[in-house]
């Protein structure tokens, strides 16, 4: 693959695959996927969405899935000199740290299971420290429910990182969480129990406690400025390049 033609995107917009009827173990799909996942976790968060999607086929892959994985290699060939930049943050008071998070979700994008995809990205003093793209564990009956699930799961990582940092430094509170769904923000700020919300698992509403105790504050961000949108589906064009730069700390 060293002389392969580079491509601009790891996955084309709207790209989708189906489970293979028979797993073709002659292809080193799992070996390559594992190596790319390690690379992604270490220095290339921009691969997160593509590899999370292709990981869904770890037990049912064939030539099509292996070709899609090789496309990720072609993307890496064209962006091999693209670094991950971590900075201390400008105009920061010594010893204080700022954690912010962006969350987003698709709705019913998996053809087989009808589940949605969650994505969240956490920044420390403006530098990217964690990015996640993952299938949700239950079927969401609305886009708002999907967003609430993504917010709830993302806040677990946010609180975990905050707890680790607070053993050494001061973390500014409240931590800001950006969401591009107004209904989700309203439900987390005001307790509502009606036919549209009563089916949502209680555990996903623990974010209300974080808001009430001043640990986090929810802010609305338009979708075109929500970097977590990159972590829920393949994008192209200017939005892809802008969000990629954010995830790599290049802005």
| Cα angle 248-151-192, degrees, rounded to a multiple of 5 | 155
How many domains is the chain partitioned into structurally? 2
Whether residue 21 lies inside any domain: the answer is: no
Nearest to 123 by CA among 226, 41, 222, 246: 246
Q: Please report the sign of the dihedral spanned by the C-alpha atoms of residue 43, residue 47, residue 52, residue 58.
A: negative
The helix/strand/coil state of 107 is coil
Whether residue 2 lies inside any domain: the answer is: no
Same domain, 209 and 171: yes
Same domain, 59 and 150: no
Whether residue 1 lies inside any domain: the answer is: no
Q: Please report the sign of the dihedral spanned by the C-alpha atoms of residue 237, residue 125, residue 210, residue 166.
A: positive
Same domain, 46 and 101: no
Element of type H or E holding 160: helix 143-165
Whether residue 156 lies inside any domain: the answer is: yes
Whether residue 83 lies inside any domain: the answer is: no
In the structure encoding, which two tokens stand for residue 21, read together? 């009827």
> Residue 191 sits in a domain of what CATH number?
3.30.420.10
Same domain, 72 and 168: no
Residues 195-199 have a mean pLDDT of 63
What is the 8-class DSSP label of residue 91? T
pTM: 0.92
Show the domain range for 107: 96-247
Same domain, 106 and 225: yes
For 124-165, the pLDDT digits (tens) are 998 999 999 999 998 988 888 899 999 999 999 999 999 999
For 65-86, the pLDDT digits (tens) are 999 999 999 999 999 999 899 8
What is the 8-class DSSP label of residue 15? -
Same domain, 143 and 219: yes
pLDDT category of residue 193 using cuts at 50, 70 and 90: low
Same domain, 144 and 53: no
Same domain, 45 and 134: no
Same domain, 70 and 150: no
Same domain, 106 and 39: no
Whether residue 170 lies inside any domain: the answer is: yes
The span from the CA of 174 to the CA of 164, in Å, is: 16
Whether residue 6 lies inside any domain: the answer is: no
For the chain, the residue count is 251
Which one of 21, 45, 78 terminates a domain? 78
The answer to whether the bond into 81 is cis (omega within 30° of 0) is: no
Contact 40, 244 (CB under 8 A): no
Same domain, 66 and 156: no
End-to-end CA distance of the chain: 30
């Amino acid at each position: 693959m060293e002389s392969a033609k580079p491509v601009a995107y790891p996955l084309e917009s709207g790209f989708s695959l189906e489970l293979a009827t028979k797993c073709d173990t002659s292809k080193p799909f799992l070996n390559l996927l594992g190596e790319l996942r390690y690379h992604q976790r270490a220095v290339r968060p921009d691969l997160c969405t593509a590899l999370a999607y292709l990981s869904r086929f770890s037990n049912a892959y064939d030539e099509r899935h292996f070709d899609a994985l090789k496309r990720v290699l072609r993307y890496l060939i064209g962006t091999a000199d693209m670094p991950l930049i971590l900075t201390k943050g400008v105009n920061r008071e010594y010893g204080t740290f700022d954690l912010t998070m962006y969350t987003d979700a698709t709705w019913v994008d998996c053809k087989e299971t009808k589940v949605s995809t969650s994505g969240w990205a956490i920044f420390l003093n403006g530098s990217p420290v964690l990015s996640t793209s993952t299938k949700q564990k239950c079927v969401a009956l609305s886009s708002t429910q999907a967003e609430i699930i993504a917010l709830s799961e993302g806040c677990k990582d946010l609180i975990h990182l905050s707890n680790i940092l607070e053993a050494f430094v001061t973390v500014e509170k409240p931590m800001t969480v950006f969401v591009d769904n107004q209904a989700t923000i309203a439900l987390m700020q005001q307790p509502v129990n009606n036919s549209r919300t009563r089916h949502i698992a209680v555990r996903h509403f623990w974010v209300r406690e974080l808001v009430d105790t001043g640990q986090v504050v929810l802010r609305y961000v338009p979708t075109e400025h929500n970097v977590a949108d990159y972590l829920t589906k393949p994008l192209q064009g200017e939005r892809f390049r802008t969000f990629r730069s954010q995830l790599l700390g290049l802005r």
